[in-house]
Amino acid sequence: MSAIREALKHNSTAKFVVNAARFLKAVRVYNATGTTPEYGYHSARHLYFATNKKAYSLYAGVENFRHRSTKIHFQNLIGVLGDMREEGLGKVMNNLDTQGFHKFDARLAPETCDALAEFARVTPSKPRIAGYENKRIAYDRNNLVANLYDLDAQVLLENPIIQNLITDESLLAAARAFIGPSVKLHNVAMWWSNADFHNVSKDGAAQLYHVDMDTIRWINFFFYLNDVDTNNGPHCYVARSHREAPKEVYRDGRISDEDVAKYFKPEDAVELTGPKGTILAVDTTGLHKGKALIKGERLLLQIRFAVNYFGSGAPTKVQLNDKFSPEFLAKIKKNSSIYANGYF
């Protein structure tokens, strides 16, 4: 038995060394080309758990040190997130540090939510189901072909409301405070979820608990564009699981509610409900999921910032056209370090 344990120990060490070497090689490739080799992404995921997140923290620290002199130009820190000057920003960072999430007192205006909802209804989107990879259709709640519909980044970034959101200085201030000076706009996404199409995998819909690892250090801002209660898909988060969680559930892959319940108190699993316009900041290194819808629908906008574009899901360039206003492009230019080499 001791020989078996010793063999397993050595195999684990060898696997760690191999993945560390592959990860460092992938970082060199990324720094030279701006793209991440697939082997580097998988090695990074292994190191994330093997080092209890320390490998990611170290890499993020190096990136922030490299960009320590990068400045973000702020003029108005009172914006979509409310007052993100010293006291307000401190409250957000404290909640993210201690709980793993923050629900803002500020909300998107109802008319803004309604405008985005109408935009999402009439703009062709991609049903998240086999056979529609290259097809775009309008979301029709009375004629569903999937329970999730994703809008493309190009059409999202052409929308003037979303342009205002991704350049909102209160949002940038919160992202920089969490990420550091190397902060980048990493992802903009919007999708419909509905309860009335039942041929769906909860795994594929991210409706089982999991930990995100698309990139190295990131923060997600979620905007509820309709009322979200316990029945129509609230974001669920296991409080403090970003700080400490047993390896039985803090691992790669999907985790069932039953397994989470073995290691956490019922009150730790928080359903983040709220009226339309609700804004959340979430550190998704903690255990989280989108609750499966029981009835109705949900429209969610996500804006993610990260320390760089290493990993999977890095943005691809948008095609600039007359839907990108001169005012918006001027904002992008003013804080080009946040936007360059990503979508723009």
Look at residue 72 and give its three-state secondary structure.
coil
Say how far apart CA 148 and CA 31 lie, in whole Å. Answer: 35
Report which of 190, 219, 214, 209 is spatially closest to residue 281, judged by C-alpha positions. 219
49-79 tens-digit pLDDT: 999 999 999 999 999 999 999 999 999 999 9
Which tokens in the block code for residue 7? 């063999």
3-state secondary structure of 285: coil
Burial class (CB in 10 A: 0-12, 13-18, 19+), 277: buried
pLDDT tens, residue order, the chain (344 aa): 455 455 445 568 889 999 999 999 999 999 999 999 999 999 999 999 999 999 999 999 999 999 999 999 999 999 999 999 999 999 999 999 999 999 999 999 999 999 999 999 999 999 999 999 999 999 999 999 999 999 999 999 999 999 999 999 999 999 999 999 999 999 999 999 999 986 555 444 557 999 999 999 999 999 999 999 999 999 999 999 999 999 999 999 999 999 999 999 999 999 999 999 999 999 999 999 999 999 999 999 999 999 999 999 889 999 999 999 999 999 999 999 999 999 99
Question: Helix (H, G, I), strand (E, B), or coil: what is residue 300?
Answer: strand
3-state secondary structure of 321: coil
How far are the Cα atoms of 213, 216, 342 from residue 285, in angstroms, in the given order? 7, 10, 22
Encode burial over 229-246: b for 16+ CB neighbours within 10 A, e otherwise: eeebbbbbbbbbbbeebe
**Residues forming a β-bridge with 103:** 280
CB 304 within 8 A of CB 186: yes
Residue 219 φ/ψ, nearest 5 degrees = -140, 135
Q: What residues are paired with 206 via a beta bridge? A: none
Find the helix or strand (DSSP H, E) in which 49 lies: helix 38-50
CATH code for the domain defined by 75-339: 2.60.120.620
